[in-house]
Amino acid sequence: METIEDFAIDVLGPRTLPSPLGLSNAMGDMVANYTLDEDRVLWDISGRDTTRSFERAGPREFNYFRGPSVRAGIVTCGGLCPGINNIIRGLVLQLWHRYGVRSIAGFRYGYRGLSMRGAASTIELNPDMVDSIHLVGGSLLGSSRGQHDPSEMVDVLVGEGIRILFCVGGDGTMRGARAICAELDRRKLKVSVIGVPKTIDNDIPFIERSFGFETAVDKAAQAIQAAHVEARGAPNGIGLVKLMGRHSGFIAAQATLASGEVNLTLIPEVPFELDGKGGLLRWLSSRLKSRGHAVIVVAEGAGQRHLARRDERDASGNQRLSDIGTFLKRLFRERLQHLDVNVKYIDPSYMIRAAPANPGDSIFCAQLAENAVHAAMAGKTSMVVGIWGSLFTHVPLAAATSGRKLLSVDGPEWRSVLDTTGQPAILGRQPRPPNEQEPNDDEPPGPRCPAC
């Protein structure tokens, strides 16, 4: 994991072009204001550490690019997620209507399209084309995983005349964006590269929320409610729901709090034992004997130590996980036969990923897109638009790719989960020593927020 000393944002050069937005620099004149580079958002929102802060996002009074003479590109990468189409639409509308950009290329199927030659890899985007795409899930541009040669991708950017590139995706996408920036720097090319954070797991460091997360929690809570109905409708019924979360339990935790019907939540950050006095099977047996049913939520990355390790990686280089959901379903049926359990297993992952954004995410996507365009037109580069303390920020790509954000098991969110479920803090294991992480794969954890 990299040491992040500051959050300075790279710029392509002096900003000399007056903004076309017609905003104000005065308070109280009923006209929205420009944002100053001196406007900051503290990293430690508790106020204990005032030495580091993020640059605040927003429109600048002077820009680096003139809209009518610039060509922009948009690429969406990684797995599908609610809100991608909202982001594409927001970028296009902001570029077109607010800054006068009339040349916008959409690269097909992620970085794979950006590394392909020929017109077939791009779509020319305009307001009419994106008019109603926010009403459906998926991505108008398609998506893919996998690493590609940054030199070849920069060749494509040069060939297409791209001066601004918006990269919509998660940690792998941001690493790819950083590699593109390094190649641009090597060639001394002035191209703005702006990341828009898309990870349904909400695990990008220094960004408190990524788009699609709220919709995922909404849909996950519906799946939990179905599992609760099924569990209560059968003797010794077990409703088992597997949710997204390779390394971080944010969706599982928030969906548990949203539903109020979960009796046990298992996340990657908290290890557990299957057997023994305080183990999972003993706990579940006791729960069924006392209440006759149980609802269990498990994040996909939880409990991997109990499964055979798969020496495989996906196209993005992530280790393929074994299926904890089907493992637990089989385990409960085999080991609790004497209770004649009825296991109802629900995995809503792909239904959640393909869903359109809910109203909260729709608003958030529009704001992310607006701020991404403001940053790009001002000549900012090698950065991600984030949010911290409910304020939109600029986060360097170096910080956003420095590790993974984990749910703090010492913090208030996990405490609320324990209060809601009534589950023990530890299932059959002693608490880990401070700073010792449960092994998952070779990805480092992200820096911990001092206010969490």
Where would I find the H helices in 50-145?
Answer: 84-93, 99, 110-114
Are 395 and 207 in contact by the 8 Å Cβ rule? The answer is: yes
Do the domains at 10-210+357-400 and 215-354+408-421 have one common CATH topology? yes
How far is it, in rounded angstroms, from Cα 278 to Cα 280? 7
The closest of 194, 196, 206, 207 to 375, measured between CA atoms, is 194
Instruction: Indicate which residues carry an active-site annotation.
Output: 201
Q: List the chain domain ranges.
A: 10-210+357-400, 215-354+408-421
Q: Give the domain 10-210+357-400 fold.
A: Rossmann fold (3.40.50)
The closest of 178, 113, 121, 191 to 146, measured between CA atoms, is 113
Report which DSSP code applies to 284: H
pLDDT of residue 444: 45
Q: Read off the pLDDT band of 303 (50, 70, 90).
A: very high
Chain segment 361-397, per-residue pLDDT in tens: 999 999 999 999 999 999 999 999 999 999 999 999 9
What are the beta bridge partners of residue 164?
A: 72, 192
Is the domain 215-354+408-421 a CATH 3.40.630.30 member? Answer: no
Chain segment 65-115, per-residue pLDDT in tens: 999 999 999 999 988 999 999 999 999 999 999 999 999 999 999 998 888
pLDDT of residue 430: 52
Query: Residues in the chain, how many?
Result: 452
Q: What is the pTM of this model?
A: 0.89
Number of H helices, E strands in the chain: 13, 17
Tell me which of 305 and 369 has the higher pLDDT: 369
pLDDT of residue 117: 59
Chain segment 113-157, per-residue pLDDT in tens: 888 655 557 899 999 999 999 999 999 998 887 788 899 999 999
Report which DSSP code applies to 384: E
In this predicted structure, the answer to whether residue 195 has a pLDDT above a threshold of 50 is yes
Q: Read off the pLDDT band of 442 (50, 70, 90).
A: very low
pLDDT of residue 438: 46
pLDDT of residue 6: 74
The backbone torsions φ and ψ at residue 423, rounded to the nearest 5 degrees and listed phi first, read: -75, 155
